[in-house]
Structure 1
């Protein structure tokens, strides 16, 4: 069954955007109407993203079937390769970054990255000439979702044992890189993906559509009356949801991706393109990155994967100065040598005249953050005290909106050993829809992390979030830490 590239593109009745037109003064496009997150529509412009449509064929062999994901510098598409009759992931880089993208990555130059089970590298590359410029396209093996998509606030969380197993592998992967004198430079939960079982790779296009359905799309609507083409696509595509499959296609095996910020330990930069919330403190104040900076990022990823939340993040943490405030709030006062660091108007450290750093008055010690991590309750229906409730007594409130329905549906039995969904838990008849004062009260009904595990995790993170990079624990020293359990435990698949 061929995929109709125009299927599910034009809605029967366009949404009413009358309440949103006030935003059109600075933006080119109306917001998209899809449940999942998508790339920034405003980046479809010269120098930006390449417009892709379902059914497009690239390099004479790769037919686009779905979207896998996106980042600040690229979109990633699921394609069927007619030459090999296999699936492939096409990473199409924004035009402005394409010419330098390859030179920034060290992955293909080192055998450890090419040969290790923890990494995948591009198998082919080619160039695409489009309306927004020339784009580098890298061809990769297809992977499952990244860990940040599977550990996301009230929406989805890992079971404790799965989180430990995955992050043990992350520590092992980092140890392999560092042993070869390499640093990843962007070691975030978004750059650690899970591998897919052989069942997925055996799908043909017809079976794929049978399992996952047609891609969800939404027309791109400019504020002007002009067509979005040629710079933007006719429609935007929601990324593939692997968890919509009734059978578990995910392995508890990781793959570290995106080496575009990588560097050798002997040529360390003072600036990294990693999100501010993962920046090591020494990089945030303008010092050189190092293997120790990767370890700091690993600690941030561990907290995210175990808790579903980011440790050093507030709603406006976007710069080194911002994250420094969050770090001091959590870990403690800066050493004297860093207290005089000044920052420019964008929050970047500067040696010229700038604003001095100022710490927030509030504190939230690391121990408190760990002890507040929520765990799964004993059932899907609980009262405000966390005790199980009879579903017949709970009297769940009906969804207010159609979009409220899917979050209330728990993961299928196939995923129950790996993931759980806080939004599927009914607390005294109510469900989570978004963070609010009311939801904060509901969260109190959830059990907290066991004291024994909390003590181990605090110990682990305290070793990682050491301000002095020279004293910070090395990746290879983390592997045997008791929080991970048995350091040599076999990685398992969740069937």
Structure 2
């Protein structure tokens, strides 16, 4: 690796400037240049195609007044950048720049749908407390790239994800007080979504971000790009920057990434991350908001316990075999599903006979109890935690408690603000 300045290429066209504050000048050299043979950032993704991504560079001004000051992250359908609004002093925003082939219209429609007040807000003439725990879209514009147009979402910058924070824990799990605080906030966000007839379908620690309480963190990131610019790689006219991660933040936990969300109370088809997938989704039944409650149960387990609840997946096996392992593991833990549940899917007969006995294509694991798997709690707190999980992990979706109901469960409310148990 070297420390020279690669050719930057011509700047992409920008809209006519309406700048109120002067843009910053960023260094054109002095950064680590990554060797062309090494894959970096989005290049490592299996579906990566350079022509699909907008060739953003630090220092670019887009939509006439957003100056890009750092890269925050990347994914299969977008890159995320920190930008300073030159019309408003020291106001930072996150720009989610979609690939030119990204199906962004659906996510945009979800954000627009959520801007409408829910009935509770209309009745109470006040904002729902879950508003603070669901990410909102502030603005939207299109960006012309060399190979097509790119949709850009403008949002308030957030800090690290709960998953990133968990990786930084010495034990790999959170203390119970942090878990209860996180679940309480996530449930408030879910309560808002479900009241708006939105099913998230993708609730897990990577999609729960911690809000910032001090924007000086963002100015520090910008300053670091001027004094110690991040490494980058040049491929033709494209500069691939290395992301800076916002590791600070002590604000509200915020449900993000609504790209997989559904609007409407009754849905069909596959959804949810595989290991979080609710049984009704696996069996191709109609499903609704209770799938998010199943996910919430899986989430609280992964935050508190070091081992997965269901050890079911083999990358060499077919999806059908993995589904069978998944359902077998559920059966061993929850007992056989009731006849009412089995009767909702023609696929049930592949796994259980008419009496509910397992007859799937894989062996049934030894029967176990939730309480026997809990390792981080003891005594009354363990019993309350098991009772809490049983509010989520049920075969019949209608037997799962709602987000509003589980918010008041005694296990969640059993810790005071100082981190101790209530007397």
| The two structures share one fold, judged by TM-score above 0.5 | yes
Counterpart in the other structure of 2:26: 3
Counterpart in the other structure of 1:325: 325
Counterpart in the other structure of 1:75: 79
Counterpart in the other structure of 1:294: 292
Match of 1:341 among 336, 347, 351: 347
Unaligned runs of 5+ in 1: 16-28, 221-227, 243-248, 343-355, 373-447
Distance (Å, rounded) in 2 between the aligned partners of 1:79 and 1:491: 37
Which secondary structure state, in structure 2, belongs to the residue aligned with residue 134 of structure 1? strand
Contact 1:38 1:239 in 2 (8 A): no
Unaligned runs of 5+ in 2: 1-23, 122-126, 349-358
Contact 2:371 2:386 in 1 (8 A): no
CA RMSD across the alignment: 3.8
Contact 2:371 2:382 in 1 (8 A): no
User: How much does 1:89 deviate?
Assistant: 0.5
Which secondary structure state, in structure 1, belongs to the residue aligned with residue 397 of structure 2? coil
1:217 aligns with 2:220: no
Gap change, CA 1:206 and 1:293, over 3 Å in 2: closer
Distance (Å, rounded) in 1 between the aligned partners of 2:156 and 2:411: 32
Residues 426-441 of structure 1 mapped to structure 2, 5 A cutoff:
none
User: How much does 1:54 deviate?
Assistant: 2.4
Distance (Å, rounded) in 1 between the aligned partners of 2:39 and 2:309: 29
User: How much does 1:363 deviate?
Assistant: 5.0
Distance (Å, rounded) in 2 between the aligned partners of 1:84 and 1:491: 38
1:57 aligns with 2:61: yes
Contact 1:195 1:254 in 2 (8 A): yes
1:191 aligns with 2:207: yes
Contact 2:391 2:401 in 1 (8 A): yes
* Length-normalised TM-score, structure 1: 0.63
Which secondary structure state, in structure 1, belongs to the residue aligned with residue 192 of structure 2? helix
Contact 1:123 1:140 in 2 (8 A): yes
Gap change, CA 1:174 and 1:341, over 3 Å in 2: same
Gap change, CA 1:139 and 1:179, over 3 Å in 2: same
Match of 1:161 among 168, 171, 177: 177
Gap change, CA 1:260 and 1:235, over 3 Å in 2: closer
Q: Deviations over 1:159-208 (max 9, x none)?
A: 321121111111122123223433223222222211111x2x14674675
Counterpart in the other structure of 2:6: none
Which secondary structure state, in structure 2, belongs to the residue aligned with residue 293 of structure 1? helix
1:303 aligns with 2:301: yes
Match of 1:89 among 91, 94, 99: 94
Contact 1:182 1:263 in 2 (8 A): yes
Contact 2:285 2:344 in 1 (8 A): no
User: How much does 1:216 deviate?
Assistant: 4.3
Gap change, CA 1:70 and 1:207, over 3 Å in 2: closer
Gap change, CA 1:339 and 1:256, over 3 Å in 2: closer
Contact 2:33 2:232 in 1 (8 A): yes
Distance (Å, rounded) in 1 between the aligned partners of 2:266 and 2:346: 26
Distance (Å, rounded) in 1 between the aligned partners of 2:414 and 2:394: 24
Distance (Å, rounded) in 2 between the aligned partners of 1:321 and 1:491: 47
Residues 114-153 of structure 1 mapped to structure 2, 5 A cutoff:
116-152=131-167
Which secondary structure state, in structure 2, belongs to the residue aligned with residue 96 of structure 1? coil
Counterpart in the other structure of 1:182: 198
Contact 1:38 1:237 in 2 (8 A): no
Which secondary structure state, in structure 2, belongs to the residue aligned with residue 135 of structure 1? strand
User: How much does 1:279 deviate?
Assistant: 1.8
User: How much does 1:258 deviate?
Assistant: 2.1
Which secondary structure state, in structure 2, belongs to the residue aligned with residue 66 of structure 1? strand
Counterpart in the other structure of 2:269: 270
Which secondary structure state, in structure 2, belongs to the residue aligned with residue 117 of structure 1? helix
Match of 1:464 among 371, 387, 392: 392
Distance (Å, rounded) in 2 between the aligned partners of 1:129 and 1:308: 46
Distance (Å, rounded) in 2 between the aligned partners of 1:184 and 1:207: 31
Q: Deviations over 1:300-351 (max 9, x none)?
A: 2212222366544666469586356235325346534489639xxxxxxxxx
Distance (Å, rounded) in 2 between the aligned partners of 1:475 and 1:321: 32
Which secondary structure state, in structure 2, belongs to the residue aligned with residue 251 of structure 1? coil
Residues 331-480 of structure 1 mapped to structure 2, 5 A cutoff:
331-332=333-334, 335=337, 336-337=342-343, 341=347, 358-362=361-365, 365=368, 367=370, 370-372=373-375, 448-480=376-408
Gap change, CA 1:40 and 1:131, over 3 Å in 2: farther
* Length-normalised TM-score, structure 2: 0.73
Gap change, CA 1:476 and 1:367, over 3 Å in 2: same
